[in-house]
Chains A and B, each alone.
Chain A
């Protein structure tokens, strides 16, 4: 009746791997950013699965804080992307190689 915690973890792993794929193969900084959000979300899913398994509220608290940090991160990160686009005229990470030597 109840969903086993292993299913939550398996789904979490699958979503995390998808996020890793997105970060590694895409070149648009915005899509890379969305993939990072997806990875954060998959970790939240694992937290929720364990919170349900142990009947403890602490896992949900961590998800709450992860959500807050994600919101802050998105605000700053998107501002960075906008600033980069203003300066360089592109958001493709291949063209942003000024730190490369």
Chain B
């Protein structure tokens, strides 16, 4: 169990680093798909089968197709950095700040007193319990979500139209 976690976590970290450090956005997008698949595998380890399936379908499927579509539509050939860099130390400062953020978070985690989780009680299926919760306790947020998606559709169509008036 832990071995699989370490393998998948390693894949996720390596592919995440590739997303950040690849020059071409298309390659970044492809590595991001690898990252999403690895994280979906980790969701499976955490007994979240439904979320893992959604992760693959929505993130690795729909969202990344959208990304690839836009990258190819815009057809950005030039490698990054032709214009002069306005701020020389940006890479160094960025890395230092990100490392600082990570250190603060790690400090918070090491102060926690959480131990290993108990084994899941057999019986209640994961998708069933999610569906039950979705249509009872979280019914209002669920419905509001549909309105949000409608707004997003309308916004995307309006923004991407050729003439803005």
A74 smallest CB distance to B (angstroms): 5
Q: Which B residues are closer than 8 A to A by beta carbons?
A: 1-2, 5, 9, 12-13, 16-17, 19-20, 25, 28-29, 32, 35-36, 39, 42-43, 45-48, 50-51, 54-55, 58-59, 62-63, 66-67, 70-71, 73-74, 76, 80-81, 83, 85-86, 90-91, 93-95, 97-99, 101-102, 105-106, 109, 112, 114-121, 126, 129-130, 133-134, 137-138, 141, 145, 148-149, 151-153, 155-157, 159-160, 162, 164
Between-chain CB contacts (< 8 Å), 12 pairs: A3-B2, A3-B116, A4-B116, A5-B116, A7-B5, A10-B106, A11-B9, A20-B102, A24-B95, A34-B32, A70-B59, A91-B74
B102: A residues at CB distance < 8 A: 13-14, 16-17, 20
User: Interface extent on A, as a size class?
Assistant: 35 or more
Q: How far is the CA of A64 from the CA of B12 in the complex (A)?
A: 20
B73: A residues at CB distance < 8 A: 82
A13: B residues at CB distance < 8 A: 102, 105-106, 109
B80 touches A18 (CB 8 A): no
B32: A residues at CB distance < 8 A: 34, 37-38
Q: How far is the CA of A6 from the CA of B111 in the complex (A)?
A: 11
Q: Which A residues are closer than 8 A to B by beta carbons?
A: 1-11, 13-22, 24-28, 30-31, 33-35, 37-38, 41, 44-45, 48-49, 51-55, 57-58, 60-61, 63-65, 67-76, 78-83, 85-86, 91-92, 94-95
Name the contact of B16 in the complex, choosing from A8, A15, A48, A91 (C-beta under 8 A).
Answer: A15
Known: A48-B46, A69-B148. A22 touches B19 (CB 8 A): yes
B86: A residues at CB distance < 8 A: 94
Q: How far is the CA of A91 from the CA of B25 in the complex (A)?
A: 11
A10: B residues at CB distance < 8 A: 106, 109
B83 touches A6 (CB 8 A): no
A4 smallest CB distance to B (angstroms): 4
Q: Which residue of chain A is the closest to B69 with respect to CB atoms? A: A78
Q: How far is the CA of A3 from the CA of B101 in the complex (A)?
A: 24
A30: B residues at CB distance < 8 A: 25, 28-29, 67, 70-71, 74, 76
